A and B are shown apart, each in its own frame.
Chain A
Amino acid sequence: MTTNVRTRDGGSARSRSASRRSHGEGPFRYAATGAGVILLGIMAAIAVFLISEAIPALQANKGHFFSELVWDPNGSQVFGIAALAFGTVLSSALALVIATPIAIGVALFISHYAPRRLAGPLGYLIDLLAAVPSVVYGLWGVVFLVPLLKTPSQWLNENLGWFPLFAGEGAIGGKTMLAGAIVLAIMILPIVAAISREVFLQAPKMNEEAALALGATRWEMIRMAVLPFGRPGVISAAMLGLGRAMGETIAVALIFPATFDISFEILTPHANSIAANIANGFGEATPIGRGALIASGLVLFVITLLVNIAARMIINRRKEYARAAA
């Protein structure tokens, strides 16, 4: 005797695979797959259209694009990315140096130090930092932070002027690389802290309790059980923060004085970045100027792409290592 189980659709259970395919299963699957393919297409299209629209300007360039410091595509048609790329790398690296230790502290505070009842709301407070739009940080930086940094900058310059970063003569303070880097650090802090926090929370409870049971203090427990487990996560969080700092535009566009030189003096008003230059230069750009800005955006795209891919690769490799060690 055959068992004939009826399903809700009225088909028998045996023909389940057949009924699954009917009634729009095909179109739905194609739509889902298609949406994923569209995403891949967009990434490809970004590269293709940035390249194709940059080529005419690059051909009209009378200087060498990678080594020229000058940026004058509208007038003499001489422009190069060197000074801008340098500013992008230096400002984001500084931001990372400032933000990472604080972010790790914040993450540890929320995952292991704060009272459990308060941990959620306090974490939300840090997330709010990420909700503040970048243009507001720019405004805050120009009106509040830049004047605030004047005196400390002069002190650093007088007392630690032998250190290349703090060197410089003449105008000290004002719209400097340091001010921009601090604003960038504030902006990337939430993402670095959020990812680190998640990783720290995932540290095996057994190891933590074992460390405490063996008489470790809280710090020793964190050093032995939490930090080694969280290291790959923190590294990738920092690299994602780096990528974000490099692409950050409006805040630094308001703060950086838009100079075109390579200077390590972070206390003098010499600072610019690829993204800031795009925002500041777009308004007056001629067709060649727009193409030049697109070319610089292409460089930014490639740099951030490499940083992001490296971050993913590091976390993938370290994750296996961490799993093996666990």
Chain B
Amino acid sequence: MTAIQHISTSRRIKDRVVQGLVYLAFALAVVPLVSVLWLVIKNGLGRFDLDFLTHSMRNIGARDAGGGAYHAIIGTLEQVLLASLISVPIGLLTAIYLVEYGNGGRLSRYISFFVDVMTGVPSVVAGLFILAFWVLFLGLPFSGFAGALALSILMMPTVVRSAEEMLRLVPNDLREASYALGVAKWRTIMKVVLPTALTGIITGVMLAVARVAGETAPLLLTVFFTDSINNDPFSGPQMGLPLFVFDQAGRPNDTAVDRAWTGALTLILIVMLLNLVARLIARWRAPARGR
């Protein structure tokens, strides 16, 4: 009887070297994450107080300490909410069209292709488009709503893709069972398909929200700057949290840079919270989808 042949040394070394490289790559990828989070927490905690969360930058001089991001937080929440109100219905309906009505026809192939392409539209271009259309062409002023329009352009393709994926996961048996009972197609979609896919869709929407909440460039071009509180997203310049960080980071004083770090910490907390809740929802309702 012959012994099982051993793996030659060179092959084993090669295997080990690649394994080492793969582990190294992962470590390399985690380093910046840890570094960013550590610096944001370390530098941001100093000013992370009630004062920061409840005050705006009104009447804060260039060298003054103090001041806060209340106006920016309000602005971000309103802009993101408006952007979701615009993009979720359009995105969801588009996904329904692609999955339920498109049947692989020419229109659905075009739409599907351009949703992919739209995912790649740079955020600054979305901002420029709203600037060109809303501000320059229609002559309307900079406002939180203009910012929400720009953000909604960035949200739409993400919502379509995630909703489409979830709708395709719904087993065809469910649809057929519903049809067999004589239920109309649109009622089947509303009563059977959407509820089954709902948690997945909510997760997708929240991840899309988390993504646009951190966008700066489109806001820069559409909501402009303000140091004061403006609760009305439909008139006058607003602020956004990412914009606040960008603005403060560009100022030469240490007090401003401190505010930028705390703004960054607040922004990361909001985005991470959205991420976490989205994933918890997905996990909480996972059995309903049968995984």
Contact = CB atoms under 8 A, between A and B. Distances in A.
Interface stretch (A62-70, A261-269, A289-297, A318-326): A289-297
A106 B120 contact: no
Interface stretch (A136-144, A154-162, A168-176): A136-144
B25 A106 contact: yes
Contact of A140 (B26, B36, B133, B137): B36
A113 interface: yes
A133 B186 contact: no
B168 interface: no
A100 B211 CA distance: 22
Contacts of A29: 101, 186
Contact of B29 (A13, A23, A126): A126
B209 to A, nearest CB: 11
B22 interface: yes
From B22, B100, B116, residue with most partner A Cβ within 10 Å = B22
Contacts of B211: 130-131
Report whether over half of chain A's contact residues are helix, strand or loop; otherwise say mixed: helix
Contacts of A35: 89-94, 97
B216 A133 contact: yes
Contacts of A139: 245, 249, 260-261, 264
Given A105-B21, A105-B22, A136 B124 contact: no
Contact of B249 (A37, A125, A189, A254): A254
B183 A8 contact: yes
B278 to A, nearest CB: 11
B18 interface: yes
Interface stretch (B45-53, B59-67, B226-234, B268-276): B268-276
B181 A290 contact: no
Interface size class of B (residues with CB under 8 A): 35 or more
Nearest to B260: A139
Contact of B116 (A137, A253, A290, A312): A312
Interface stretch (A76-84, A201-209, A302-310): A302-310
Contacts of A218: 15, 18-19
B81 interface: no
B216 A135 contact: yes
Nearest to A222: B18
Contact of A125 (B33, B123, B179, B216): B33
B80 interface: no
Contact of A290 (B121, B136, B179, B210): B136
Given A106-B25, A217-B14, A250 B246 contact: yes
Contact of B131 (A24, A249, A290): A290
Contacts of A193: 29
B29 A106 contact: yes
Contacts of A31: 93
B30 A39 contact: no
A135 B116 contact: no
A24 B186 CA distance: 8
Contacts of B213: 133
Given A45-B133, A136-B267, A275-B217, A36 B128 contact: no
Interface in A1-53: 5, 7-9, 11, 13, 16, 19-25, 28-29, 31-40, 42-43, 45-46, 49-50, 52-53
A133 B35 contact: no
B189 interface: yes
Given A33-B97, A134-B216, A142-B249, A13 B114 contact: no
Contacts of A134: 214-217
A278 interface: yes
Interface string B239-270: 00010011001100000010011001001100
Contacts of A129: 29, 32-33
Contact of B268 (A38, A53, A133): A133
Contacts of B275: 128, 131
A32 B131 contact: no
Residue of B89, B107, B137, B220 contacting most chain A CB atoms (<10 Å)? B220
A246 interface: yes
Contact of B90 (A38, A50, A130, A137): A38
Contacts of B175: none
B104 interface: no
Nearest 10 pairs of A and B residues by beta carbon? A247-B122, A7-B182, A105-B25, A133-B214, A35-B93, A308-B120, A32-B97, A28-B186, A249-B217, A217-B15
